[in-house]
């Protein structure tokens, strides 16, 4: 790992000074790339905010404080509030399992964890309808006991949890595999218990990856549309999340309202991107710090002090 | 634990048990419910449902526009990755961050925004309409939406490979008299090919199942602009569970095929890098 960052910077510099393209080729390529991203990324995201504020801040605020919109915001917060913690606990367990042990069937497990990514959101909703819907496997039993899952909040939470569940696990698996287990094993020889190792060594070590995983999982949980749309039944004020509210307002030609709700979700997406940048920056500066201390100290990595490990 | 071969840290049983239980309840049980439902249809009924004209038109549109969208992404994704890795220009890190937007932006938001941009009186829709290109509510609109959601895949798979290419090989090519374009075509492009194909396959797999960003811009006309996921939803809304499940099973098989292909491509990419 050591020195990759500095080596990459060196690679870039060498190319710039010795074998780069001519200036006009560079400018042309940059402009074409920016035009592509402008058409496909910048135009839509700018449209969201421009349309939301097209009638001024008054109507924008009114659209956001409508009762049905507030209900949708509340339901979205509730859904993410259940789905994200569930997936964080799962993500930590799965990443611990995959990164600390070798066992039979590990690659199958990793594939299964990734499965929701390759399933259409519509199918993610459909599978829960087939299980819990009126004519599903558990449908008759649920009707007898007066429990509603499909076209109700539990179904929305289940579908959201399904769609977002690889996000934290994937992020943590990557970080924990890259960092290795030396510090954990050192703590074990010093008599730390499993819980102490997890709490005082592993979690602080992966905190940046964990933070990005949580933020991304949260953004996707709040923004999930396809799966939730299939299981929600669109009961106004009851089973509408924010993305569903966007759809309803848009189909009623209430564009300011639709884009006002959309602007909240877009702001959340932009915050997610900023957090990602900060996390990358923190990780690379930590790597640089490690490289520096590795050069300054004896070649054996110091694992005695817990503070040193945490850094 | 007989099948555990390495690892001294405590917690193997607990983390294995919890992970398997969670995955089993949340993923495997619901997915197997669907497979069982689909297989209970009987072969001739299943075949009839998955090959009727409306379903065939939906597959054609979904696969066709996903293919074209991913192809666009393969070309422009390599270009964007190249520009981000090789050149320094103002706003580069903002552009780099923005590439992930389709991952983070809710699909419904992307859908209404793209529709507004490409509607007949939209910012880009109006000039395109004057050129005779109707985007919104046509298969072209579907392709645009599927291009949007696929943007991060090629860029993010090609970027790290491009960063790792040793300047020595490019210098060597230049010293041996290759022009810059020859160097790209004969030296750099072959090194990028596995990553580009992986990114293409990832974008294609994602585009096949995409729903939210497409339903607004497509106009949802049966036989013309109806994508397969929308057909599943329509059948569900008509309580045709059997029909919805049959078509979903076809899509699921297609996704698993893509998953397998992506795994093979990634293995090839790793070998090519080593």
Which residue in chain B has the smallest CA separation from A278? Answer: B97
C-alpha distance from B61 to closest chain A C-alpha (Å): 16
pLDDT of residue A307: 38
pLDDT digit string (tens) for A196-252?
999 999 999 999 999 999 999 999 999 999 999 999 877 777 789 999 999 999 999
By CA distance, what is A43's nearest residue in B?
A: B117
Q: Quote the pLDDT of residue A136.
A: 83
Rounded Cα distance between B101 and A272, Å, is: 9
pLDDT band at A8 (very low <50, low <70, confident <90, very high): low
Which pair of structure tokens corresponds to residue B20? Answer: 């398997």
Taking the C-alpha atoms of A135, A140, A142 and A143 in order, what is their torsion angle to the nearest 10 degrees?
90
What's the ipTM? 0.90
Q: Give the DSSP letter of residue A102.
A: E
Homologous superfamily, domain B42-273:
MetI-like (1.10.3720.10)
- All structural domains of chain A, each given as residue ranges with its CATH number in brackets, are 1-52 (no CATH), 57-310 (1.10.3720.10)
Q: Specify the pLDDT at position A311.
A: 32
Q: Please give the Cα distance from B78 to B162 (Å, whole number).
A: 9
> Which two structure tokens, joined as six digits, stand for B48?
């009839």
Tell me how far apart the alpha carbons of residues A130 and A275 are, in angstroms, rounded to a whole number.
37
pLDDT for the residue numbered A147 = 87
Judged on CB neighbours under 10 Å (0-12, 13-18, 19+), A299 is exposed
Q: Say if the Cβ atoms of A230 and B174 lie within 8 Å.
A: no
Q: Which residues of A touch B109 (CB under 8 A)?
A: 48, 223, 243, 246, 262, 265-266, 269
Express each pLDDT in B40-77 by its tens digit. 888 888 999 999 999 999 999 999 999 999 999 999 99
Residue B123 · residue A38 · CB < 8 Å:
no
Residue given tokens 């933070």 in the structure block: A211
For residues B159 and A5, the model is more confident at: B159
Token match 């397969």: residue?
B228
Q: Identify the residue among A46, A119, A271 best suited for mutation to test binding to B, counting B beta carbons within 10 A and taking the highest.
A: A119
Res. A98 pLDDT band, cuts 50 70 90: very high
pTM of this structure: 0.88
The span from the CA of B231 to the CA of A109, in Å, is: 32
Q: Do A48 and B166 touch (CB under 8 A)?
A: no
A11 token code pair: 């690679």
**CA–CA gap between residue A60 and residue A261 (Å, rounded):** 9
Token digits of residue A226: 């396809």
Mutate to test the interface with B, among A24, A96, A123 (most CBs of B within 10 A): A123
At residue A236, what are phi and psi to the nearest 5 degrees? -60, 135
């Amino acid at each position: 790992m050591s020195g990759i960052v500095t080596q990459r910077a060196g690679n870039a510099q060498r190319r710039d000074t010795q074998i780069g393209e001519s200036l006009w080729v560079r400018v042309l390529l940059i402009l074409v790339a920016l035009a592509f991203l402008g058409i496909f990324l910048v135009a839509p995201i700018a449209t969201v905010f421009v349309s939301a504020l097209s009638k001024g801040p008054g109507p924008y605020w009114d659209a956001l404080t409508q009762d049905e919109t507030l209900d949708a915001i509340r339901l979205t917060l509730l859904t993410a509030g259940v789905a994200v913690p569930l997936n964080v606990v799962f993500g930590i367990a799965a990443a611990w399992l995959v990164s600390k042990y070798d066992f039979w069937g590990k690659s199958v497990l990793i594939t299964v964890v990734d499965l929701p990514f390759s399933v259409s959101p519509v199918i993610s909703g459909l599978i829960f309808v087939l299980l819990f819907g009126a004519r599903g496997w558990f449908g008759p039993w649920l009707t007898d006991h007066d429990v509603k899952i499909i076209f109700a909040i539990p179904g929305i939470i289940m579908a959201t949890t399904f769609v977002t569940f690889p996000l934290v696990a994937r992020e943590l698996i990557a970080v924990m595999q890259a960092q290795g287990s030396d510090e954990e094993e050192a703590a074990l020889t010093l008599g730390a218990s499993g819980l102490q190792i997890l709490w005082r060594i592993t979690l602080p070590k992966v905190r940046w990856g964990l933070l990005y995983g949580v933020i991304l999982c949260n953004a996707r949980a709040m923004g999930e549309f396809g799966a939730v749309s299939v299981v929600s039944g669109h009961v106004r004020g009851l089973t509408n999340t924010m993305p569903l509210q966007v759809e309803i307002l848009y189909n009623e030609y209430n564009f300011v309202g639709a884009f006002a709700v959309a602007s909240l979700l877009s702001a959340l997406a932009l915050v997610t991107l900023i957090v990602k940048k900060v996390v990358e920056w923190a990780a690379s500066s930590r790597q640089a710090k490690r490289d520096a201390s590795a050069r300054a100290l004896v070649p054996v990595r110091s694992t005695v002090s817990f503070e040193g490990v945490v850094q | 634990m007989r099948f555990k071969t390495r690892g001294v840290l405590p917690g193997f049983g607990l983390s294995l048990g919890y992970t398997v239980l969670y995955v089993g309840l949340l993923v495997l049980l619901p997915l197997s419910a669907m497979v069982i439902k689909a297989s209970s249809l009987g072969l001739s009924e299943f075949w009839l449902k998955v090959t009727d004209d409306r379903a065939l038109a939906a597959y054609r549109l979904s696969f066709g526009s996903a293919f074209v969208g991913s192809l666009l992404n393969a070309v422009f994704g390599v270009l964007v990755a190249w520009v981000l890795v090789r050149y320094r220009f103002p706003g580069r890190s903002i552009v780099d961050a923005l590439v992930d937007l389709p991952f983070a932006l809710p699909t419904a938001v992307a859908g209404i925004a793209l529709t507004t941009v490409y509607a007949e009186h939209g910012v880009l829709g109006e000039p395109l309409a004057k050129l005779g290109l109707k985007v919104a509510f046509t298969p072209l609109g579907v392709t645009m939406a599927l291009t949007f959601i696929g943007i991060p895949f090629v860029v993010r798979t090609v970027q790290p490979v491009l960063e790792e290419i040793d300047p020595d090989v490019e210098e060597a090519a230049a010293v041996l008299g290759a022009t810059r374009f020859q160097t790209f075509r004969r030296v750099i492009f072959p090194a990028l090919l596995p990553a580009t194909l992986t990114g293409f396959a990832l974008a294609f797999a994602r585009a096949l199942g995409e729903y939210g960003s497409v339903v607004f811009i497509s106009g949802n006309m049966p036989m013309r602009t109806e994508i397969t996921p929308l057909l599943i939803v329509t059948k569900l809304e008509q309580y045709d569970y059997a029909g919805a499940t049959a078509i979903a099973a076809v899509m699921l098989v297609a996704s698993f095929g893509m998953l397998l292909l992506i795994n093979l491509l990634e293995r090839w990419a790793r070998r090519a890098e080593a």
